Structure 1
Amino acid sequence: MPRIEFTKVEVLGNDLLVIVDPEDAQQLASPDIARLCDRHLGVGADGVVRMLRSARIPEGQRVLETAPEAEWFMDYATSTGATEAFSANGLRAMARVLTDSDLVELPSGETLAIATRVGVKDVQRNSTGGFQTDLGRWRLAGGEPLVSARGIAVARPGLGIEVGLPHVVVALSSEEELEELDLREPPEVDPPHPAGLTVAFVVPGDPLVKNGVGQLRMRVYERELGETRSSGTAASAVALAVRHWAGEGAPHHWRVEAPGGALQVRMFPTEEGEHLGQAGPAEIVFSGSINI
């Protein structure tokens, strides 16, 4: 295996290793990815984003058939080495590396199309120096399973929501209950999801709406990985769930705070149905190289 060059990017407490591999020359096996992400034996990260030309892999070629502008493809794997459809935080990390390394130009107001295993995700710069992304359509999926977790005396009903990845959202009654959650062990979901679920616990702000923007706090147990300081898809799921529970008159713009920081989430209409938008930072920590 040749030496791997990477850039470590921090996105609201998540850290991702971004590898520029336009020709698909550095295919990494799951054990290699897990070692890279190991915080004692490797560089340390929550996942790996490998950026390659869409034309170089079958998944990317299929996207190009309907979206020829999606030149770059996100090949994403979690710290366990498991391939995932995409990462919402990873989109901003990828955009940061692509633009800072001058691989693409992204003037204000223009759009960068990134191909993923679940279609095209559009990215733009935002006014605060980060990026805003269009995560596409969402759907209610998975019903209302019961969720048990350490620190919660009684199992709570959740709401299944899919935003490219499956989630279940559980509402808690207070900030204290959110703080007392013990997420060192995975929450139990009944009935279980065959592919596993990311479980997000949410508390509405007081007031719920401030200056037209919904205010939420969350903690997240990401499937197979444990508690995470931030999750872009989970932030979208909790905003959708609370809007669903709040009913008519609920806002379409939300501020979702996690231990790593806050993301802006909005819902907006398109010709094909409602889409999810998201805005937040992505900062380069350092670049380096390592032998696997």
Structure 2
Amino acid sequence: MTSLDFTKGHGTQNDFVLLDDSDGTLPVKLSDDVVRFLADRRAGLGADGVIRVVRSIEVEEGRRVLESEPGATWFMDYRNADGSIAQMCGNGVRVFAAYLEQLGLVTFVPGVRVPIGTRAGLRTIEKIGEWFRVGMGEYSFPAPAEQVALGADSSVAIRGLSGIGGSDARPALSVDMGNPHTVVALASLEDLAGIDFTAPPAVEPVPPHGTNVEAVVPGPQIIDDRGHLTGHVTMRVHERGVGETRSCGTGACAAALAVRHWMTLAGVGAGVDDGRDAGASSVPDAWLVDVPGGTVKVEVEGRNVYLSGPAVLVAAGQVELP
């Protein structure tokens, strides 16, 4: 049997097994079977995903990041619980940052953004207090402009949720955050609590690479302590390759962006966000997103999105691989 050193961490209860391969001496190949064992909540350690710390130069996608940003020394090699490779994870990248800090590989200085490589491209991380703020890159609405202008390009049927107008499905909007998301709006927190995410939602048309599905309920806007208008969303998420999780960072970004877009279409602000501009000024650019595992903050600056939230390392040890 092979022993493997690990660390366990979570971001708003989206949890991960973390592996240090910073010197290239990980004793096993990170195969689908190894990932599934580590993520198994009964036979293994239990996690929503597995994250390997590796030098960007050692990974093809990391070498591409280094071409534009030579300072992106470290690469987040992220796998879903079923072993499938994922492009990005907003909660995972914060936990990755906390792990880099614990390993002594990165020192976070206030006001300085640290570049890292991911399969979704370059990401930046800075530490603000006890939270990490991640530059998530640019978002997009991948559907044709005429569908984006209508606020929906697909439909989603979720067990336990009745449709509208006699259909089992509800209209939804696709959002690309480096990985695919489909966001569907619900009328109330009671509706949100009543849905059944033990079965994957049925999305039409079927996305070619699967999708994460966010069910969201917009809440009342608030004025923060700096006098800024802040939106509010409550969400649950079904992640591709995992199932329902307690949180999803890229999903929180997608949820805020979809609600922000719908608000603009509804005339809350002047003009229409057609996926190419930042939306009307009276629509919030800052959002608090409540998930079952806590709260994160999403900020929109032009086409770029920033995600802030906690990251906690809870345990470390050795596991014997069968």
TM-score, structure 2 as length reference: 0.86
Structure 1 stretch displaced more, 185-194 or 140-149: 140-149
Once the two structures are TM-superposed, the CA of residue 74 in structure 1 deviates from its matched residue by 0.7
Provide structure 1 residue ranges, at least 5 long, that are not aligned to the other structure: none
Deviations 1:163-211 (A, max 9, x none): 0011110011111111111111111111111211111011011x23444
* SS of alignment partner, residue 96 of structure 1: helix
2:138 — aligned with what? 137
Structure 1 stretch displaced more, 20-29 or 69-78: 20-29
Q: Distance in 2 between matches of 1:149 and 1:277?
A: 29
Q: Distance in 1 between matches of 2:32 and 2:11?
A: 23
Describe how 1:116-155 pairs up with structure 2 within 5 A: 116-127=118-129, 129-142=130-143, 144-154=153-163, 155=169
1:219 — aligned with what? 236
Q: Distance in 2 between matches of 1:153 and 1:59?
A: 42
Q: Is the 8 A contact 1:10 1:283 kept in 2?
A: yes
Deviations 1:33-89 (A, max 9, x none): 100111111111111110011122222222111110000011000111111112111
Q: Is the 8 A contact 2:235 2:290 kept in 1?
A: yes
2:284 — aligned with what? 251
2:62 matched to 1:48?
no
Q: Distance in 2 between matches of 1:210 and 1:226?
A: 34
2:79 matched to 1:66?
no
Once the two structures are TM-superposed, the CA of residue 130 in structure 1 deviates from its matched residue by 1.6
1:186 — aligned with what? 200
Describe how 1:13-28 pairs up with structure 2 within 5 A: 13-26=13-26, 27-28=29-30
TM-score, structure 1 as length reference: 0.95
2:253 matched to 1:236?
yes
1:174 — aligned with what? 188
Q: Is the 8 A contact 2:90 2:248 kept in 1?
A: yes
Q: Distance in 2 between matches of 1:2 and 1:69?
A: 34
2:307 — aligned with what? 278
The number of residues matched between the two structures is 286
Provide structure 2 residue ranges, at least 5 long, that are not aligned to the other structure: 148-152, 164-168, 270-281
2:31 — aligned with what? 29
Q: Distance in 1 between matches of 2:211 and 2:223?
A: 31
Describe how 1:156-175 pairs up with structure 2 within 5 A: 156-175=170-189
- The one of 301, 318, 321 equivalent to 1:268 is 301
* SS of alignment partner, residue 221 of structure 2: strand
Q: Which amino acid aligns with 1:133?
A: V
Q: Is the 8 A contact 2:81 2:241 kept in 1?
A: no
Q: Is the 8 A contact 2:120 2:179 kept in 1?
A: no
Q: Is the 8 A contact 2:123 2:135 kept in 1?
A: yes
* SS of alignment partner, residue 69 of structure 1: coil
Q: Distance in 1 between matches of 2:33 and 2:43?
A: 12
2:273 — aligned with what? none
- The one of 197, 210, 223 equivalent to 2:211 is 197
* SS of alignment partner, residue 6 of structure 2: strand
Q: Is the 8 A contact 1:208 1:216 kept in 2?
A: no
Q: Distance in 1 between matches of 2:305 and 2:204?
A: 28
Q: Distance in 2 between matches of 1:201 and 1:59?
A: 31
Q: Distance in 2 between matches of 1:100 and 1:182?
A: 38
Where in structure 1 do 4 or more consecutive aligned residues deviate above 3 Å?
208-211
Q: Is the 8 A contact 1:23 1:56 kept in 2?
A: no
1:38 — aligned with what? 40
* SS of alignment partner, residue 140 of structure 1: coil
Q: Distance in 2 between matches of 1:122 and 1:101?
A: 18
Once the two structures are TM-superposed, the CA of residue 2 in structure 1 deviates from its matched residue by 4.3
2:95 — aligned with what? 93
2:210 matched to 1:208?
no
Q: Is the 8 A contact 2:98 2:312 kept in 1?
A: yes
Q: Is the 8 A contact 1:31 1:81 kept in 2?
A: yes
Give % identity.
Answer: 39
